[in-house]
A = this chain, B = another copy of it.
Amino acid sequence: MRIPKAIRALIESFEKLPGIGPKTAQRLTYYLLHVPQTELEDFAESLSSLKKDTLVCSVCKNVAEGNPCPICTDRNRDESMVMVVEQPLNILAIERTGKYRGVYHVLHGSINPLDNIGPDELYIDDLLKRMKGSDGKGVKEVIIATNPTMEGEATAMYLAKKLKIGNGKLKITRLGMGMPTGADLDYADEATITQAIEGRRVI
C-alpha cells in the first residue's frame, strides 16, 4: 500500500528533527490524524512564525522578541560579568537558578571539526569584538559555561586563549565541575570523580 502523499510529507518533516526516527515520525503523524484541524493550524502557524517573530540580539546573540534582548536592556543586570554559553536554551537553565545577575553571550554551537564547525561558524568573533568595544571596557570577568563535553572543552580552551590575548587583566573562569547534587559516588564515572577531587573546597 502506498502511504498518502500528505501523510508521507509530514512523516518526512518529523524525520528531519534530531532524535526522531522513522517509527516515531510515523507514530506522531498518525496521532495527528486524530487531532482537530484547529490544533493542526495552530501548530503550523507557530512553526512558520517561529523565526519571523524572533530576533537574534545584536549584543549577546540570544534569541528574543526584541533587539537588544530583555537581558541586555535590563539596567539591573551586572554588565561587568559575561557568561558564554553554547545555546539560547542554556540561558534558561542558568536563569532558573536565579543566582546569576550578569549578562550573556551565546555562541550558537561549539567547535566541532567532525561536523565542520570551526570558530568562524560561531559568534566567537562577535564576542572578541564586544570585549574590545565600549561595552567591553567594563567587563571584569568572563565565565565560560560551554558544556563539559569534548567540543565544549575545546571551545572553552580556544576562547580562553583568544580572550587573554585581547586583555591580559580579564578574569576568565569556567563553571565548577564535580559531583552533581543528589548523585552517588558509587555510580559516578572516573572523569567526574577526578574533577571533584581536583576541584575540592575547604568547608
Interface residues of A (CB under 8 A from B): 1-7, 9-10, 12-13, 16-20, 24, 26-35, 37, 39-54, 63-65, 70-71, 87-89, 91-92, 95, 108
Q: What is the bound-complex CA distance between A44 and B39, given in angstroms?
A: 12
Task: Return chain B residues, CB-CB under 8 Å to A19.
Answer: 24, 27
Bound complex: CA A45 to CA B88 (Å): 27
Can you identify 17 A-B contacts, CB atoms within 8 angstroms? A4-B63, A6-B52, A7-B50, A9-B42, A9-B46, A17-B31, A18-B27, A19-B27, A20-B28, A26-B92, A29-B50, A30-B87, A30-B89, A40-B50, A44-B45, A44-B47, A47-B47
Query: Of all chain B residues, which has the CB nearest A26?
Result: B89
- Among residues of B, the one whose C-beta sits closest to the C-beta of A66 is B4
Nearest 5 CB-CB pairings of A with B: A6-B53, A44-B44, A9-B46, A13-B43, A44-B48
C-alpha spacing A158/B34, complex, angstroms: 23
**Would you call A47 and B54 a contact (CB within 8 A)?**
no
* Contact in complex: B10, A39 (CB < 8 Å): no
Q: What's the minimum C-beta distance from A100 to chain B, rounded to whole angstroms?
A: 11
> What 4 new A-B contacts, CB under 8 Å, besides A5-B53, A10-B47?
A6-B54, A18-B27, A30-B87, A43-B44
User: With A33-B88, A64-B4 in contact, do A10 and B40 touch (Cβ < 8 Å)?
Assistant: no
Is A1's CB under 8 angstroms from B71's CB? yes
Residues of chain B contacted by A44 (CB below 8 angstroms):
43-45, 47-48
Instruction: Determine if A33 and B51 form an interchain contact, defined as CB atoms under 8 angstroms apart.
Output: yes
Pairwise interchain contact B50-A10, C-beta atoms closer than 8 A: yes
Is there an interface contact between B92 and A3, defined as CB atoms closer than 8 Å? yes
Q: A44-B48, A50-B7, A91-B1 are in contact. Are A28 and B33 (CB under 8 A)?
A: no
Kindly state the separation between the CA atoms of A70 and B24 in the bound complex, as whole angstroms: 25
